[in-house]
Amino acid sequence: MALTKGPLLSLDASGSVAGTVTFSKWKGRNYVRQLVTPANPKTVKQISVRAMMRFVSQGWAAHSATEKATWDELAAAAQVAPFNSYMAKNLSRWRNFLAPSIEYPAAEGDLAAVLGALTATGGVGQITLSQVITTANQNWCLMIFRSLTGTFTPSFSNLQRVVLGEGAGPIVFVDTPLAAGTYFYECRGGSVEGVTGASSAEATATAT
In a domain, 105, yes or no: no
Mean pLDDT computed over 124-132:
98
Pairing of strands 181-191, 203-207: antiparallel
User: Same domain, yes or no, for 51 and 134?
Assistant: no
User: Same domain, yes or no, for 30 and 61?
Assistant: no
In a domain, 58, yes or no: yes
User: Same domain, yes or no, for 29 and 70?
Assistant: no
User: Same domain, yes or no, for 24 and 53?
Assistant: no
Range of the domain at 14: 2-34
3-state secondary structure string across 24-78: EEECCEEEEEECCCCCCCCCHHHHHHHHHHHHHHHHHHHCCHHHHHCCHHHHHHH
- Say how many C-beta atoms besides its own lie within 10 A of residue 112's C-beta: 27
Alpha-carbon Rg for the chain, nearest whole angstrom, is: 20
The string of pLDDT tens digits covering residues 9-28 is 555 666 666 566 777 766 66
**Domain count of the fold of the chain:** 3
User: Same domain, yes or no, for 177 and 141?
Assistant: yes
The string of pLDDT tens digits covering residues 28-71 is 667 667 766 656 567 999 999 999 999 999 999 999 999 999 99
User: Same domain, yes or no, for 168 and 186?
Assistant: yes
Q: What are phi and psi of 46, to 5 degrees?
A: -65, -40
